[in-house]
Amino acid sequence: MIDYQRICLAHYHEIGLKGHNRSTFEMRLLKNLEALLSDFPVVTVHRIAGRLCVFLREGTDWETAKAVADVMGKVPGVARVSCGFKCPRDLDVMAEVARAAMLEAGDFESFKVAARRNHTDFPTNSMEMNQIVGAALCQAFPEKSVRMKNPDLTVGVEVVQNAAYVYARSLPGIGGLPVGSSGVVACLLSSGIDSPVATWKLARRGAVCIGVHFSGRPQTSDASEYLVDDIARVLERTGCIARVYTVPFGDYQREIALTVPPELRVIMYRRLMFKVAEELAHREGAGALVTGESLGQVASQTLDNIRCTDAAVSLPVFRPLIGTDKLEIIAEAERLGTFEISAQDAPDCCTLFMPRSPETHAKLAVVEEAESALPVDEWVAEIAAAAEVRDYACPAFKRKKKRS
């Protein structure tokens, strides 16, 4: 048993490509990791040699260290996570620790050592460290082969000013940018499969996500609201959602269904939803709306109909899934952990008062003329005022006072 402090190193790629503002991205990721790992025995998180190092409490066991690494790998901005130890800058100790790290790395047949000397006050250079530590590992694991290109396992040895960091087990992260580095967006969030994935994709690009859920209540049950809360609980594990507004929308859909031509109902629903979401976005200082639409997937997602709904708002509308098919979206939802929730059947506003033959190629002039019969501005104010707010754990979110 090695009696040295366990560490988990967060490697990042895209942040490392930033210029003079790189430190801002690094600090945002550091703060996110500190908050999201608060339930684990973390002593501190520091930036070391172009990485973020999570130092675990003395005596932390291997299973706990793996759990920490698993959480870190799902945090936007982290490209890879490595588990290992902090030890003295002594080559014999570093070789001993490397053997211990390899024993915890899982199954592998080939390996190599990747040593790096970050301070020249250590007399042994990187190539010499590769040879010395590599020779010790070959002696300890004679059944394993050394492969310099594409090995099963890479043992990292990094010498910094006052210590060495040795690691072997690595797992891929999701990459991207840390949440909080790209502003705020308002995401139309249903209990379905698509919109949680779209929300996660914007969080992975560094946006703080505010959900807006349109419930069919009181014309339907509130079952979709509970599913959306479950979805948000999954997203908040890695700080990917900050707040959800729940909007009772059923009565307004009923009024639209009684007033406009049946084939235009879906367009009218969507336009009103966009207008309400934009009002709530302004309340939160959000710079864009986000939807889970995929081109041509349903009647409201044709090019003509998308144009008609976008024309209802002035904010840009992001559709990260626009070129993605359903099977690809399902695979992303399974990876994210929301698919099983979204697969549950729950009535919501999307299936309420649906026409038999919805318009698939709406004309904006026709839509706007039909909409002129509705008190849209009055409705938007009423709906936004009635929205119910629930907050979630998002370290990057600067909370504003809830409005009643």
| Paired sense of beta strands 5-11 and 51-56, if any | antiparallel
Among 23, 339, 316, which Cα is nearest to 178's? 23
Check the annotation: does 213 bind a ligand: yes
Check the annotation: does 139 bind a ligand: no
Check the annotation: does 292 bind a ligand: yes
Check the annotation: does 188 bind a ligand: yes
Q: What angle do CA 155, 156, 160 make, to 5 degrees?
A: 155
Among 388, 396, 379, which Cα is nearest to 213's? 388
Check the annotation: does 249 bind a ligand: no
Alpha-carbon span 305 to 268, nearest angstrom = 10
Identify whether the C-beta of residue 235 lies closer than 8 Å to the C-beta of residue 200: yes
Among 359, 97, 63, 317, which Cα is nearest to 186's? 317
Place of tokens 């300890």: 140
300: left (phi over 0), alpha (psi -120 to 50) or beta: alpha
Check the annotation: does 227 bind a ligand: no
Check the annotation: does 301 bind a ligand: yes
Identify whether the C-beta of residue 158 lies closer than 8 Å to the C-beta of residue 89: no
Alpha-carbon span 132 to 138, nearest angstrom = 10
Identify whether the C-beta of residue 403 lies closer than 8 Å to the C-beta of residue 287: no
Cite the annotated binding site by residue number.
188-189, 213-214, 270, 292, 301
Cite the annotated binding site for ATP by residue number.
188-189, 213-214, 270, 292, 301
